[in-house]
Amino acid sequence: MTDDLLARHRAVLPSWMPLYYAEPIELVSGSGRRVTDAQGRSYLDFFGGVLTNMIGYDIPEIREAVERQLATGIVHTSTLYLIRQQVELAEKIAQRSGIPDARVFFTNSGTEANEAALLVATNHRRSHQVLAVRNSYHGRSYAAMGVTGNRNWSASALNPLQVAWLHSGDRVRGLLARLSAEEQVDAAVEDLREVLATQTAGDVAALIAEPIQGVGGFVHPPDGLFAGWKKVLDEHGILFIADEVQTGWGRTGEHFWGYQAHGVTPDLLTFAKGIGNGFALAGVVGRAEVLESVPAISFSTFGGNPISTAAGNAVLDYLIAHDLQANAARVGAILADGLRSAVGGLDCVAEVRGKGLMLGVEFVRPGGSEPDPALTNRVFEAARDGGLLTGKGGLHGNVLRMGPPLTLTEEEAREGLGILVDAIRSAAGVAA
Ligand code: PMP
């Protein structure tokens, strides 16, 4: 029973590991875009376990690929031996990455992928100075926390890197919020020049940035901002690391990678979450000249193991065969338009934002920009009561996040939209 499990969880797992919902959920089965809890309640899943279930649940092609590997008797031996699926997946990712002469290093988590990217960049540039973005999230190792611009998620003051911070492109509050999109790009580029001149001692290694901030509440800079930044970075030989952990694989609908909205090519790209559809699979892609810049042996016992790369190959093949990027654009537009017309005008909604199937609703105190995390939480709980799983995020915990599997159908989008709109209206005390 969940109650008993909750008590046991609390007794043995650390309290700094967050659990969603006043009454936490134990999910025991899933199919398509639906999951079932231990009490037999079914939910439509608009979060995919933080964008981790990218294709959905119980997908035969993925299950069969993993079962074929299990049937060989080898779950994993060591990455010291050749692994066919690892090479195949690396070839596919390198070819789709948009990065010329790409190499791929597999890890088990997004944190490790960013750690590897930062290791490579700092070695390549022989500098530990890095630029990062306010309100970002990049993981929980020292270096990844060090470039995470949100103190809620940075558990240590010890930072192996010297970091200078850039604006996030937040349109609701802060400096850029008061400007038009074009002015925002100019202001943020000017800010980058000023940060370089005033807060760094030259020889900066890299900028790490999420094309759309995930944990930060789906905040995204105006399209083209990275292009403006990249021009300045290129003047100084500074590398650009795109953290595509949440934005990759077509989720944003308009592009396969989030960085493509800006018309730039990163030197390094990190991925995780969705590509394993639940299996631990992550990595970093980079130009050979840059990715080879590791001065000692670096090795991962489980990174790129046959089970997770079998899953990864099946996920990528499925994604492309079914053109899920196009589905994300089409179904995401239904959701975004529906949300904008039903609740976008409420005075407690600051913004409905995002792209494709990566959508957020930011809640504020009526009429202003003061965050309203209590209202966000009421919406979040009401949606669950209505049978819909969503996420929460943002520096102030006032953004409801939707990142459903990319296989979401139009009917499911409309069903979830109805639950969401009811949840928002009832939590905000607005008549239907
Ligand atoms: N980068 C981004 C953008 C993320 O959203 C996350 C996870 N929320 C990470 C890195 C870290 O990934 P992991 O939890 O797999 O270490």
Report the SS3 class of residue 269. strand
Please report the atom of ligand 1 found closest to the CA of residue 210.
3
The whole-angstrom separation of Cα 121 and Cα 207 is: 9
Tokens coding 144: 């990844």
Asked if residue 280 has its Cβ within 6 Å of ligand 1, the reply is: no
Asked if residue 137 has its Cβ within 6 Å of ligand 1, the reply is: yes
In this structure, the residue with its CA closest to atom 14 of ligand 1 is 110
What is the 46 CA–ligand 1 centroid distance (Å)? Answer: 18
| pLDDT tens per residue, range 58-92 | 999 999 999 999 999 999 999 999 999 999 999 99
The whole-angstrom separation of Cα 150 and Cα 184 is: 21
Asked if residue 272 has its Cβ within 6 Å of ligand 1, the reply is: yes
Structure confidence at residue 364 (pLDDT): 97
Structure confidence at residue 113 (pLDDT): 98
Q: How confident is the model at residue 144 (pLDDT cuts 50, 70, 90)?
A: very high
What string of H, E and C letters represents the secondary structure of 339-390?
Answer: HHHHHCCCCCEEEEEEECCEEEEEEECCCCCCECHHHHHHHHHHHHHCCEEC
Domain extent listing, the chain: 2-56+324-428, 64-321
Which CB contacts under 8 angstroms, 24+ apart, belong to 330-336? 330/253, 330/410, 331/357, 331/408, 331/409, 331/410, 331/413, 332/253, 332/356, 332/357, 332/358, 332/359, 333/253, 334/410, 334/413, 334/414, 334/417, 335/359, 335/402, 335/413, 335/416, 335/417
Q: How confident is the model at residue 432 (pLDDT cuts 50, 70, 90)?
A: low
Structure confidence at residue 2 (pLDDT): 55
Q: What is the CATH number of domain 64-321?
A: 3.40.640.10
How far is the CA of 404 from the CAs of 180, 332, 359, 390, 401, in angstroms? 30, 10, 9, 8, 10
Mean pLDDT of the chain: 96
Q: How confident is the model at residue 202 (pLDDT cuts 50, 70, 90)?
A: confident
Domain 2-56+324-428 coded CATH 3.40.50.2020: no
Out of 245, 251, 401, mutate this one to test ligand 1's pocket (max ligand atoms within 8 Å of CB): namely 245
Structural contact between residues 240 and 204, judged by C-beta atoms closer than 8 angstroms: no
Asked if residue 243 has its Cβ within 6 Å of ligand 1, the reply is: yes
| pLDDT tens per residue, range 294-328 | 989 898 999 999 999 999 999 999 999 999 999 99
Asked if residue 138 has its Cβ within 6 Å of ligand 1, the reply is: yes
ipTM: 0.99
Report the SS3 class of residue 106. strand
Out of 111, 141, 257, mutate this one to test ligand 1's pocket (max ligand atoms within 8 Å of CB): namely 111
Mean pLDDT value across residues 246-260: 98
Asked if residue 246 has its Cβ within 6 Å of ligand 1, the reply is: yes
Structural contact between residues 54 and 277, judged by C-beta atoms closer than 8 angstroms: yes
Please report the atom of ligand 1 found closest to the CA of residue 215.
5
pLDDT at 211 over 60: yes
pLDDT at 171 over 90: no
What is the 211 CA–ligand 1 centroid distance (Å)? Answer: 13
Tokens coding 382: 């009401």
pLDDT at 6 over 90: yes
pLDDT at 248 over 90: yes
Report the SS3 class of residue 259. helix
pLDDT at 218 over 60: yes
What is the 109 CA–ligand 1 centroid distance (Å)? Answer: 7
Q: How confident is the model at residue 155 (pLDDT cuts 50, 70, 90)?
A: confident
pTM for the complete prediction?
Answer: 0.98
